Amino acid sequence: MKNVLGFLGAVLILQGLGALGQELLGWFRLWGLVRRVGLFSGYELYAGIGLVVLGAAVIGAGESLGRRAAGPRERA
């Protein structure tokens, strides 16, 4: 589960950074989901920031689950 959440968090962070790069610098015009979702029209910058924050939270949750599953003896 930790690996799945880590992968999902990384994808969310990359999508958010792609959205930020597209909005602020004009890069990544053909890459990214934020541009393609009509719900975010006009709010692409905020959606990119939200995706980066959400991705970091998902990765943090995965790390927390990994530590909890390891038990108290295996924690470092």
Q: What confidence tier does 73 reach under pLDDT thresholds 50, 70, 90? A: low
Print the SS3 string covering the chain.
CHHHHHHHHHHHHHHHHHHHHHHHHCCCCCCCCCCCCHHHCCCHHHHHHHHHHHHHHHHHHHHHHHHHHHCCCCCC
pTM of the entire predicted model: 0.82
What pLDDT digit, counting tens, does each position of 8-59 carry?
999 999 999 999 988 898 877 777 788 888 888 889 999 999 999 999 999 9
Structure tokens, 6: 């880590």
The burial of 25, by beta-carbon neighbours within 10 Å (0-12 exposed, 13-18 middle, 19 or more buried), is given as exposed
Please give the pLDDT value at position 70.
63
